[in-house]
Amino acid sequence: MYLSTEKKEEIFKKFGGNAKNTGSTEGQIALFTYRINHLTEHLKKNRKDFGTQKALLDLVGKRRGLLNYYMKKDILKYRALIQELGLRK
């Protein structure tokens, strides 16, 4: 599996504060970003995998919603997060 428990804990520890804080907005955005990058690489090799393409679009929409929420909540932390994740916005 491409996303092990250790990798998830590492992502949440880096962005969410600790490994058990899986509900934090920052951690969820970082996890979605990791999954989006993985699916993007998969689709570069498998252009006709339409199920994965649909899943990718769903994840991008979920991340966009969380980013909009986070921007309204705290604009400075939002800017730092998109800078650290390397997102365009």
Provide the sign of the torsion angle of the four alpha carbons 16, 19, 12, 24, taken in this order: negative
pLDDT computed for residue 1 by the predictor: 64
d(CA 3, CA 34): 9
pLDDT computed for residue 48 by the predictor: 95
Listed in sequence order, the DSSP H helices in 23-89 are 25-45, 50-73, 75-85
What tens digit of pLDDT does each residue of 38-51 get? 999 999 999 999 99
Give per-10-residue mean pLDDT for the chain (89 aa): 87 89 93 96 96 97 97 96 91
d(CA 48, CA 15): 34
